């Protein structure tokens, strides 16, 4: 990580409080070669897949940034209302499904495939 740069690296620890303080999100030392593929956009939802498994955040204000490897990015399509999905990701039903699909002892984790199997 570096103090200055063009692209920030959003990490799991940046979303756990429910708000993103962009001033604390570090810049990438090296910009990924295919950065456009990983850039976050307004309306994207990021979900923690390790450690704080299942914690999610709806991106509403975005700085040029990519997501770290322990985050899963979900980009809702036109048929899905992102705010509805974000509310669902706070529900008891969602958290029960996360608990049922989490593996690992030292570092709890869930993969994108298991996340995609969650019933709305």
Q: What is the chain's mean pLDDT, rounded?
A: 87
Q: Is the pLDDT score of 32 beyond 80? A: no
Q: Which helix (H) or strand (E) holds 84?
A: helix 82-88
How confident is the model at residue 112, as a pLDDT?
76
Dist. CA 37–CA 58, nearest whole Å: 18
Domain ranges across the chain: 8-104
**Domain spanning 8-104: which CATH class is it, in words?**
alpha beta
Half-sphere exposure of 57 (CA within 13 A, CB side): 25
How confident is the model at residue 3, as a pLDDT?
63
pTM, two decimal places:
0.84
Dist. CA 31–CA 3, nearest whole Å: 14
Tokens of 15: 């979303």
* pLDDT digits 0-9 by tens, 38-74: 999 999 999 998 888 889 999 999 999 999 999 999 9
How confident is the model at residue 28, as a pLDDT?
92
Dist. CA 10–CA 71, nearest whole Å: 8
């Amino acid at each position: 990580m570096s103090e200055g740069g063009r692209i920030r690296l959003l990490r799991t620890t940046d979303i756990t409080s429910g708000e993103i303080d962009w001033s604390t999100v570090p810049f990438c030392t090296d910009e990924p070669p295919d950065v456009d593929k990983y850039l976050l956009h307004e309306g994207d939802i990021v979900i923690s897949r390790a450690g704080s498994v299942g914690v999610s955040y709806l991106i509403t204000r975005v700085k040029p940034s990519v997501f770290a490897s322990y985050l899963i990015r979900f980009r809702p399509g036109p048929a899905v209302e992102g705010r509805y999905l974000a509310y669902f990701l706070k529900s008891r039903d969602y958290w029960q499904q996360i608990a049922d699909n989490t593996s690992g002892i030292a570092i709890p984790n869930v993969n994108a495939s298991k996340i995609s199997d969650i019933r709305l």
